[in-house]
Amino acid sequence: MKKLFAGNWKMYKIYSEAVEAVKKLMSLTSPLPKDREVLILPPYPYLKSISDLISKKDGYFLGAQNFYPEEEGAYTGEVSPKMLLDVGCSYSIVGHSERRKYFNESDEFINKKVKFGLQKGLKIILCIGEDLTERKKGEVFKVLERQISKGLNEVKDSKIEEKLCIAYEPVWAIGTGEVATPIQIEEAHKIIRELLSDLFGEKGTKIRILYGGSVNPENIKDILPVPNVNGVLVGGASLKPENFSKIILS
């Protein structure tokens, strides 16, 4: 299983900065070690240009941060999987905690996106994770179980192990500089692995589980060796090629 290093740029960078950052990242990391893959998740307006920069390079992939689960139609402001695939995306994030919080995305709506995106040919990174109150109340298992069972309800695909990734992103560790400890990460990833195995059997053991939340060039060495960590979803530190490249090559 190759480790996936995904950079979620969120709503940062203007066009020229985005193009420069990708060129720099490629020069710092190419050719990639054979056991690693890089996924860049920029804002929509930069997708096509970044696709042109990376499409011929082995191990580099492009993805979106979100989409709307319809083929096409009168949905002002929205973007469909068909459009994303057409400009070179192979992945999309679904259910990021910022979308759950600021855009009121429910587990049911997230499930609709997972099913629709997979059906249209996108690979999906489903984000899950508890907030601080839930952790303090001892509800980590309950939250992960709910987000997985609802988010993946009736999700079927003969190649699910290649098409689905789960990102465990504890909300309290996102953008706070407070990274989860290796023990906390190991516990959560174990729970997720068991839930995936219950749902998908043998294939569930091969679905990549990423950790996300304040990953940086210093703490990556403690995170990557944790059992069931098959990659990372990086926010802030992915914006600077110098930092992201250190994470990728760690």
Nearer to ligand 13P, 130 or 169 (CB): 169
Nearer to ligand 13P, 5 or 200 (CB): 5
CA pair distance 65, 91, nearest whole angstrom: 9
Residue with the shortest CB distance to ligand 13P: 235
Q: Is 11 exposed, middle or buried (0-12, 13-18, 19+ CB in 10 A)?
A: exposed
* One residue of 69, 212, 217, 241 binding ligand 13P per CB under 6 A: 212
Q: Which stretch binds ligand 13P (CB under 6 A): 46-54, 155-163, 167-175, 222-230?
A: 167-175
How many chain residues are in contact with ligand 13P, going by CB under 6 A?
14
Answer yes or no whether residue 45 interacts with ligand 13P by CB under 6 A: no
The pattern of x and - marking residues 169 through 208 that bind ligand 13P according to CB under 6 A reads x----xx---------------------------------
Answer yes or no whether residue 126 interacts with ligand 13P by CB under 6 A: no
Q: Which stretch binds ligand 13P (CB under 6 A): 141-149, 200-208, 220-228, 234-242?
A: 234-242
CB of 73 to ligand 13P, least distance (A): 28
Give the residue carrying structure tokens 């090559």.
249
CB of 216 to ligand 13P, least distance (A): 8
CA pair distance 105, 127, nearest whole angstrom: 12
Q: Is 4 helix (H, G, I), strand (E, B) or coil?
A: strand
Answer yes or no whether residue 236 interacts with ligand 13P by CB under 6 A: yes
Task: Return the percent helix, strand and coil in the chain, to nearest 5.
Answer: 45, 15, 40
Tell me the catalytic residues: 96, 169
In this structure, which amino acid lies at residue 233? L
Q: Is 187 exposed, middle or buried (0-12, 13-18, 19+ CB in 10 A)?
A: middle
Beta strands in 85-234 (DSSP E): 91-94, 123-128, 164-168, 208-212, 231-234
Report how far apart, in Å, the C-alpha atoms of 117 and of each of 41, 62, 99 are: 16, 15, 16
CB of 221 to ligand 13P, least distance (A): 16
A 10 A CB-CB count for 37 gives: 19
Q: Which residues bind ligand 13P (CB under 6 A)?
A: 8, 96, 169, 174-175, 212-215, 233-237
